[in-house]
Amino acid sequence: MEWAFGMGGEEVSIGQIFDMKTLLTFLLVTAAGSAFAQFNGKLVYQIDQQGSRTVMTYVQNGTNAIVTAYTIKLTNGVTDTTTFHAQDTIIFDFAAATETHLQYRTMNAYKQKYMGTLMAGAMKNQGAVTAAAAGSASVNGYNCNHYVITTKSALGISTKDIYTTGDIGGSPTLWVVGAFTYYTPGYPHFVKLMAAGASGVVVQASSSNNKQGLLVTMNLVSADTKFVPRARGYFSVPSRYNLIDETNMTLPGSGN
């Protein structure tokens, strides 16, 4: 698949899967977070990294969401339209805790459990992850709270700065935080951010490494809380795809 199962090459280390303490924290912050309204609408993000630009569109309505994206070559800040490349679409069913990847190349639709959580479990003990609040700031015209995720591993120290806002209204069920990188419910980084008080819509995110410098910069370029999908079956797998159910799939060491 062209999507890296939502993990993205920018993540140096996945972090640790739930232990009982983390699970308890997740349950507590989820209960506390119920006071925040759920986001419904459309968010568009632009991500620049290493000579390429990725544009990701996230649409949520209730317990359903869909992510579409395309990449394009970026040279000295100028895009080359001849390199436009559509990425595979992902459909999320939050009630069932599944994600379905529509693979254009094969016309197969792979339905799975949240892949990020499975991979985090398989890669546990690969790095120590912490998340902390770092004050407030005005970013892209929004009043934001700043959070920093730090991952320490054999590959170095990776830092992800995330700015969220309550100005737009509601909190999406998952957060887009980079190119092909998203935090689904239960994902370790998401749990730690929630425990640090994070909520709302992600407005900006950047990833860096102490050995490589700034790797990725992401900005919210459009937000529409009035957008409602009108097409029937907007969050369904088109009939032209061959649906492959992999929800019973496990990864070595994941325990799931």
The ranges assigned to domains in the chain are 20-245
The two beta strands, 89-93 and 64-75, are antiparallel
Quick one: average pLDDT of 35-39? Answer: 77
**Which pLDDT belongs to residue 177?**
94
Helices (H) and strands (E) in the chain, counts: 3, 15
Give residue 7's pLDDT band: very low, low, confident or very high (50, 70, 90): very low
**Which pLDDT belongs to residue 32?**
37
Q: Are 90 and 2 in contact (CB under 8 A)?
A: no
pLDDT per position as a tens digit, 102-122: 999 999 999 999 987 766 654
Q: Are 38 and 212 in contact (CB under 8 A)?
A: no
pTM value? 0.81
Q: Are 90 and 6 in contact (CB under 8 A)?
A: yes
pLDDT per position as a tens digit, 45-90: 999 988 899 999 999 999 999 999 999 998 888 899 999 999 999 9
Q: Which fold has domain 20-245?
A: outer membrane lipoprotein receptor (LolB), chain A (2.50.20)
Compute the mean pLDDT over every residue in the chain, rounded to the nearest whole number.
83
Is residue 39 classed as helix, strand or coil in its secondary structure?
coil
